Chains A and B, each alone.
Chain A
Amino acid sequence: MNMRALTDGAREGAATAVPSSPVPPAVTQPPRRRGKPRGKPRVSLLGLAMLAPSLLLLCAFFFAPAIFTGVFAFTNMSTSTGIGKGDWMVTPTLLRQLRDAGLSEADEQAISAATYVVDAEHIARAEAGGVDGRFLSDIEGRLAGQTYDNARDFERDLRALPSKPRSARALKGAADHFASSVLNRRYATEAAFAAALTGVAPGLSPETLSLVTERAYTGAVFTVENFVTLATRRDTLRIVGNTFLYVGLTLGFNVAIGLFLALSTFYLPKRVGSVFSALWLLPRITPVVLYATLWQWFTWENGFIYILADTLGLPTYNYMKAGVTSAWTIMILSNGFVGASFGMILFSGALRAIPVQQLWASEVDGASRLQQIRRIILPQLRWPVLFVTAYQTLSLLSSYELIWLTTDGGPGTTTTVWALDAFKTALWAYSGEFKYGLGAAMALILVVVGLTLSIAYLILFKFDDLVGRPKIEF
């Protein structure tokens, strides 16, 4: 740009930058009323039809999971209870627990009794159940009148019969028709269970019956226990602390580096700036698994940093996994670079929206680059900075996948944050005990924190002003 052009431009810029020019504003109509237009709102069916697919997707992939999470959070749902409806079942383990809850020994024996009776009634039951006729007549002919107190003895005698079925399942299925026992049997409904229980132990009091029925349910039940656990367990505070530290430091890195990149590429010649911008986009556009693998190559044993440190005589170890400080550094940097490129794009866009004439004018006035940034650029980047801060806070709070793939919350649990802990509680456990209810409660808390922060940011943003009608008419 030659000096002449700069000077002309600076003049134009100066004119644009001063809104209080003597030219009166082109107001030709009275300001419109704010608020709802009068009369019946127009509803376009076509509009609704166009919206329908996105509404459906929203319901299926956002509202439904959020509602499920909310409901699960108030249950004790886990691997043991299963996700759907449970059954009613008495097991030796349950009987032992019931003894602790006050079940008498006599009642326990009555409930756990298992008898196999070969009489006309049970033979008829077996016949109705489809047991092979020849086998049944063998049973009737040779075992009628017998009573057994365990399955093994009865099955042994059945296997001695000439017409016994070939498969174990058929024989044991036939034996089942002669049984009077509730032990280790699943009942799909409470009524069926209560009837079977009363059948084997008719002397149970209504209170005992009710206690056994309640405790025999294998499915999940509603409870607020998850929130009590979270409020009282010792780990909670540390994980919350980790989360704040992680979000705070990563956010700071994101915004600062994003801003720095946007400004430096802004001042670079356009082509060079574009190349740099594209390079910084790599962390964002690389698939997260590949990105994590790159970090592993970079920081693990015999990786780049390892070899570099070895050459320089510095301590060498797996920096991602085997050092608390290095693990934290890597967690913040790896997440930070992804966020920094996001900030860079937004800030660059916002920078391009600043009328360049203002900068020309400032240069004419002798402003240095730093003064330009401080006095002209930063004040006009307030909204983008606030937006990136808000968006990234929410995003960082709920993201765990990169931490999971890199430090995995370690060493120990030193880099474990709330979202990662929620995921591991609900869906990732070496022991196989997934606590869906507790994990959902943790996720629900995250949703509540996210919503609260969103509202706080909306107020901070003065969202009403942002989306309100412009104060001047165009």
Chain B
Amino acid sequence: MTILSHTMRLTLAAALLGTTAAAGLAEDYTITVWSGGTGDSANYRIDNIKLAAEQMMREAEIRGDELSITIEGQSWSGWDEFKQAVTLAAESGDAPDIIVSGHEDLGPWSQAGILRPVEDWVYFDQWPLNDIYPNLIDVATYNGVVWGIPQDAEARVMFWNKDAFRAIGWSDADIDALPQRVIDGDYTLYNMLDDVYAMQEVEAVAPGQGFMPRPSNGPDYWQFYQSFGGEMTDAETGKLLLDTEALTGFYQFFADAVAKGVVSESYLGGNWDDWHRAVAGLTSGAWHGGSWHYAQWTRSFEMENFFDNVQFTLIPAGDENGRANSITHPLVYLMGAGNTEDEAQIAADLISIASEPRLNAMHAVKSGHLAISEAEVSVPLYAEDRWLTEASEGFLPYVNAIPNDADFGTYWTAMYKGLENAWTGTMSVEDAVETVKADVTSALGDKIIVK
């Protein structure tokens, strides 16, 4: 071996070692983000994570670290397929690093061990997490553990066609007074049935479309249970609670709506686009949806002059036992288990940064969701949005969330099946309620109180 070749070998070895060392120093991470119930206008659920990654890499560069983060985002517009995908992926050891889902998944997913508790990875008394509304942190808590970081908030409310009201003799002052009358319990769901029926009679709205509820399952339907005095959990024991009287009132209301001809018996299961087109086109007298629908109607369904044409209120009380109410269904950033500790730490840092007011405000304004923190309300982009400001002030004081409970899904599925049975006339209201009672008692035993 010549001296030259020996030198060359050494040089080559040094170069190889150097490359390896450099590769070892540079930290490369690929973080997967899966987001459910995410339509076109909610892209910032994932895009904010990408912006957070950009921020983290710049901060690392300032510290003199080499950090490279690649975000692989995937969104599902529906919930069923998303929850199936997350659950099965997690069970096969391939859970995404960050999951954007409804807070009600904390119960079953934490019990199944497919989540990491976010509180182990971040400080909730540090910016920006210390500015998030405490009630939203409570919503992200199960069994005393904070499992997720709230991603957004919302209100689910009743919308009213102002022109149709005028057509049945309401003055603008009457229409303006409606939100307060609903809050006071002075205007109930049955008043609504009478009025939308009258709207149909004077042909201000299409026949059979006086009332256009949400066409598919959703937390929204629990609002009508609450309208008749129902509570989902027992305040004293914290157990799930089935109030048969309230459930009867709730089912009876929809059966009555069908009988009155303001909604058809085969309405449930309809097509979402048809629904959006109808309500955005003001062919209905009253409909209920979410605060985020405003963004969809104005951006995708050519709805103009929303505030001139539409009044919005809480969901009215159904009877003297119930109350006007609204359910918020915050999505939360969750951390999937099964990745390395380093990846989990990156994921935790990313979702913290993504919760900063300016970033979250972009999601809120574009998608029509409400702020998660005090400071976000002051971000000009958010503060200048009339809808979000009015919705935050008008509804947030009254909203509540569905409970975090590993068994709530069973109760929910039974509730909706019962509603379908009563609505379509497959069963009488009494039989539908009895079926729900039998189903939840058989499945949950003493984990649910039936009264």
* Interfacial residues, chain A to chain B (CB-CB below 8 A): 78-84, 86-87, 89, 91-93, 96-97, 100, 159, 167-169, 172-173, 183-184, 186, 218, 228-229, 232-235, 238, 300-301, 317-318, 321-324, 327, 407-414, 427-435
Complex CA–CA separation, A301 to B274 (angstroms): 8
Chain A residue at smallest Cβ distance from B238? A96
CA distance A409 to B114 in the complex (A): 31
Cα separation A317 to B209 with both chains bound (whole Å)? 11
Bound Cα distance from A427 to B345, whole angstroms: 31
Q: 5 tightest A-B contacts by CB?
A: A433-B409, A410-B269, A412-B424, A411-B266, A412-B420
**Cβ of B239: which chain A residues have Cβ within 8 Å of it?**
96
Contact present for B345 and A169 (CB under 8 Å): yes
> Which residues of chain A are within 8 angstroms of B274 by Cβ–Cβ distance?
300-301, 318
Secondary structure of the B contact surface, majority rule: helix
- Which of A186, A235, A427 contacts B113, CB < 8 Å? A186
Instruction: Report B91-108 residues with CB < 8 Å from chain A CB.
Output: 91, 101-102, 104-105, 107-108
Could you tell me if A234 and B438 are in contact, using CB atoms closer than 8 angstroms? yes
Give B412's nearest chain A residue, CB to CB: A431
CA distance A327 to B266 in the complex (A): 10
Given known contacts A96-B237, A169-B121, A411-B268, A432 and B112 CB-to-CB distance under 8 angstroms? no
B300 at interface by CB-CB < 8 Å: no
Asked whether A430 lies within 8 Å of B266 as measured between CB atoms, the reply is: no
Interface pair A431/B424, CB less than 8 Å apart:
no
Q: Which of A80, A318, A407, A428 contacts B80 (CB 8 A)?
A: A428
List chain B residues, Cβ under 8 A from A412: 266, 268-269, 420-421, 423-424, 426
Given contacts A80-B111, A82-B91, A429-B413, contact A93 B143 (CB under 8 A): yes
A158 to B132, CA, bound (A): 24
Q: Is the CB–CB distance between A82 and B112 below 8 Å?
A: yes
Please, could you name 30 A-B residue pairs with CB atoms under 8 Å apart, sorted by A? A79-B109, A80-B108, A81-B111, A82-B112, A83-B91, A93-B405, A159-B123, A168-B120, A168-B123, A169-B120, A169-B121, A169-B344, A184-B117, A184-B144, A301-B274, A321-B270, A322-B267, A410-B268, A411-B424, A412-B268, A413-B426, A428-B84, A429-B83, A429-B413, A430-B80, A430-B217, A432-B87, A433-B412, A433-B413, A435-B410
CA separation between A340 and B413, bound complex, in Å? Answer: 36
Return chain B residues, CB-CB under 8 Å to A234.
Answer: 427, 431, 434-435, 438-439
B265 within 8 A of A: yes
Instruction: Using A82-B112, A324-B266 as known contacts, say yes or no to A431 and B409 having CB atoms under 8 A apart.
Output: yes
Closest to A186 in B: B113
Number of residues from B at the complex interface, CB < 8 A: 70
Least CB distance from A404 to B in Å reads 11
A432 touches B417 (CB 8 A): no
CA distance A428 to B409 in the complex (A): 12
Q: Which residues of A contact B113 (CB under 8 A)?
A: 82, 86-87, 186, 218
Alpha-carbon gap, A218 to B274, bound state (A): 43
The one of B102, B271, B341 that contacts A318, using a Cβ cutoff of 8 Å? B271
Closest to B101 in A: A432
A371 to B60, CA, bound (A): 89
Q: How far is the CB of A258 from chain B (nearest CB, A)?
A: 31
A101 to chain B, nearest CB (A): 8
CA of A172 to CA of B146, assembled, Å: 14
Residues from chain B with Cβ under 8 Å of A327 in the complex: 266
A407 to B443 Cα, complex, angstroms = 28
Known: A168-B348, A300-B271; 17 extra A-B contacts, CB below 8 A, are A82-B113, A82-B114, A86-B113, A87-B113, A159-B123, A169-B121, A184-B117, A321-B269, A321-B270, A412-B268, A413-B420, A414-B426, A428-B80, A430-B412, A431-B413, A432-B83, A433-B409
